[in-house]
Amino acid sequence: MAKIIDGKSISAQVRNEVHIATSALTKETGIVPGLAVVLVGDNPASQVYVRNKQKAAKEIEMNPIDIKLPEDVSSSILKSKLDQLNNDDSVHGILVQLPLPGHLDEKSIIRLINPMKDVDGLHPENVGLMLGGTPRFVPATPLGIQQLLIRTDNSPSGKHVVVCGRSDIVGKPVASLLLQKDTAANATVTICHTGTADMGVITRQADILIAAVGRPEFITADMVSAGVVVIDVGINRKTDPSSKRGYRLVGDVDYVNVSEKASAITPVPGGVGPMTIAMLLFNTMTAAKLSAN
């Protein structure tokens, strides 16, 4: 039976570390790290994510700044809002909550963020720095996955890591992060996606399997080998009439059956999700430190 990789408690450790660093920075320089989160529209899941991020920032004495814009906001208004945040010295980190409504082009909006404040690590300058092995801001979810592995003695170094999914926010950055020539990485990485002919053949070779496909319980027990370490990034709603909300959250991995074979596994919820928030705070603290220099 797999050990549970407890993202909730590891994220509490990270948040505590960031809190200590933030207090020291504020004491030394007077800087209070400011995190601006821009939410366009009223997507309920995004509203929850934004609330959680801002609550976590407040808890560690950062300054959360909420920017809410209507669903039909024009790209020029959004651009001027971002300009204003880029030029505001009390704002150290800027995050635009994704997904954006269809009329806004996400890639071009992300490029409008000052790369020194891009705490989501999605600006091409920060993507390039990470790929080149000199990261400034690494996207929070991949950074959280790396910390989960290291802090549970599941170092990726020398291991075969199989990543299922190639999105810009999870699959691609986690693959690039873990293949770096660095003691906290140094893995052999394979990426699977919809063009992969027989995913099971690849996933069964994994020492560490990272599932980020956005399909409920997609990775089944026959797709993994005994002893694999499983990181489940997925957050999916599964209909459940016995639950008050009518659904429950499940990951991209068939948790019950895969747990029987894996050596360690992240639960959903309580695995990768809390780490994403903790690493966003870490990046915000880094941004504030960079502004001090």
Tell me the catalytic residues: 53, 97, 120
Site for ligand NAP in 122-141 (CB under 6 A): 141
| Whole-Å CA distances, 117 to 34, 54, 129, 176 | 10, 16, 14, 21
How far from the centroid of its chain's Cα atoms is residue 192's Cα?
19
Do the Cβ atoms of 95 and 284 come closer than 8 Å?
Answer: no
Closest CA to 75 of 34, 40, 114, 120: 40
| Whole-Å CA distances, 67 to 41, 54, 81, 267, 273 | 11, 11, 9, 32, 22
**Residue 233 found at the interface with ligand NAP (CB under 6 A):** yes
Kindly indicate which of the ranges 64-72, 85-93, 128-136, 167-175 contains the residues binding ligand NAP, using the contact rule CB under 6 A.
167-175
Do the Cβ atoms of 116 and 87 come closer than 8 Å?
Answer: no
Contact track, ligand NAP, 175-214, x by CB under 6 A: -----------------xxxxx--x------------xxx
Contact track, ligand NAP, 3-22, x by CB under 6 A: --------------------
Amino acid identity at 197 = A
Q: Which is closer to ligand NAP, CB of 51 or CB of 166?
A: 166
Kindly indicate which of the ranges 51-59, 67-75, 105-113, 159-167 contains the residues binding ligand NAP, using the contact rule CB under 6 A.
159-167
Contact track, ligand NAP, 73-112, x by CB under 6 A: ----------------------------------------
Structure tokens, 201 = 């053949």
**Residue 43 found at the interface with ligand NAP (CB under 6 A):** no
CB of 234 to ligand NAP, least distance (A): 4
At 237, is the secondary structure helix, strand, or coil?
A: strand
**Residue 143 found at the interface with ligand NAP (CB under 6 A):** no
How far from the centroid of its chain's Cα atoms is residue 236's Cα?
15
Binding site for ligand NAP (CB under 6 A): 141, 165-167, 169-171, 192-196, 199, 212-215, 233-236, 272-273, 276
